[in-house]
Structure 1
Amino acid sequence: MISSSGDIFSEVIVRRKITPANIVVRVICGIIVFFLAALFVLGFFAALPGLFIFAVIIVVIIYFIIRFQKVEYEYIFTSGDLDFDQLSGDFRRKRKLSVTFESLEVLAPEGSHWLDGYGGDGGKTYDFSSRDKSKKRYVYVGSGNNGRIKVIFEPSEKMLQNMYNYSPSKVKIEG
């Protein structure tokens, strides 16, 4: 999409897949809340009212722990700038990384032959994908402040086309 100012713009939101560790945390939180509810029903907090405030604080903390396990990544491509934001719990946004296509060496599908020369150089790798193996993942390889960086993400077809139109020699859409 081209905006009214002539910039190429596209954005994608990808939800991170729930991991077994997330499930374990949720089960433990559920057990704790169940235990506190049982103590409340049995009248334990009536005898010790100070502990009731402590229990309420624990329940609020558990609420936020569960909310922050919902993570989404937003990719924003604007005329050669690619930003990666993390949205946690539907209310917290944090810019995780910004890269430019001036520092881009290659952008290609994960596992393609275009990435063969960029293997074990010890650069920093960022994974902003859903971690779902059935989704098509792409790898951005470029230079950062401290050497080479690799970014794994899942752009939409529209975003890929906009990136290809911006830099056709560096963006490899086919495998």
Structure 2
Amino acid sequence: MNDDNYVEWLVKRKDPAYAIPLKILMIVLCVISAFLAMQTIFGIVFLLAAAAGTYFVFLNMSVEYEYLFAEGGLTVDRILGKARRKRVFDCDKEDVQVVAPADSFVLKDYERQGAKVKDFSSGRKEAKVYALMYQKGADNFKVLIEPNEKMVGAMRRTFPRKLVM
């Protein structure tokens, strides 16, 4: 396999606006249930439920996307809490229609076709986001990613006419 066309890249998603208040709320709920656990037997049940809820909130707020570009195909995995991995997107180079910066004029015609948007970017304003227009059967998708320069170069070598700069 050619190492020039095998690129991995990890992007951490920006926490949503509700993440910090939700985390504070869960911590306060744990503290209150700890005081209740000292006084009643039902407090122990509330403490266990609050602790489990807090664990899952903290685990699911930390999201990273790993892009793997190999042999012309792109695979995106979602990593929750730096522990659980799930494949959320997979495509072959034959199904890719065009790859361009997300604000490019080239995408206007594809967006009129009613493509479903899948956002695998960090959500930061300063990020260089690319849109990958992808068709599988009758479904059209607009996939938002943040590739690094090495991945953009590998895409350029693999499908030079489909990559718009």
TM-score calculated relative to the size of structure 2 = 0.91
- Deviation by residue 1:149-171 (Cα, 9 ceiling, x = unmatched): 11001000000000110110101
96, 103, 111: which one pairs with 2:88? 96
58, 67, 78: which one pairs with 2:50? 58
Q: Which residue of 2 aligns with 1:163?
A: 155
In structure 2, what residue type is equivalent to 1:37? A
- Deviation by residue 1:66-111 (Cα, 9 ceiling, x = unmatched): 1111000011000111001100011110000101110111100111
Q: Which residue of 2 aligns with 1:2?
A: 2
CA 1:54–1:30 in structure 2 vs 1: closer, same or farther (change >3 Å)? closer
Tell me, in whole angstroms, the C-alpha distance in 1 between the residues paired with 2:50 and 2:152.
Answer: 45
In structure 2, what residue type is equivalent to 1:74? E
In structure 2, what residue type is equivalent to 1:59? A
User: 5+ residue gaps in structure 2?
Assistant: none
104, 114, 126: which one pairs with 2:118? 126
User: 5+ residue gaps in structure 1?
Assistant: none
Structure 1 range deviating more: 104-113 or 138-147: 138-147
Q: Which residue of 1 aligns with 2:41?
A: 49
Structure 1 residue ranges (4+ consecutive) displaced by more than 2 angstroms after TM superposition: 37-40, 48-51
2:16 aligned with 1:19: yes
Tell me, in whole angstroms, the C-alpha distance in 2 between the residues paired with 1:34 and 1:120.
Answer: 51
Compare CA radii of gyration and give the structure with the larger one. 1
Structure 1 range deviating more: 150-159 or 58-67: 58-67
Structure 1 range deviating more: 55-64 or 121-130: 55-64
Aligned CA-pair RMSD: 1.8
2:121 aligned with 1:114: no
Shift of 1:131: 0.5
CA contact (8 A) 2:33 2:44 kept: no
> Which secondary structure does the structure 1 equivalent of 2:126 belong to?
coil
TM-score calculated relative to the size of structure 1 = 0.86
Say how many residue pairs are matched.
165
Tell me, in whole angstroms, the C-alpha distance in 1 between the residues paired with 2:143 and 2:28.
Answer: 37
Shift of 1:54: 4.2
2:139 aligned with 1:147: yes
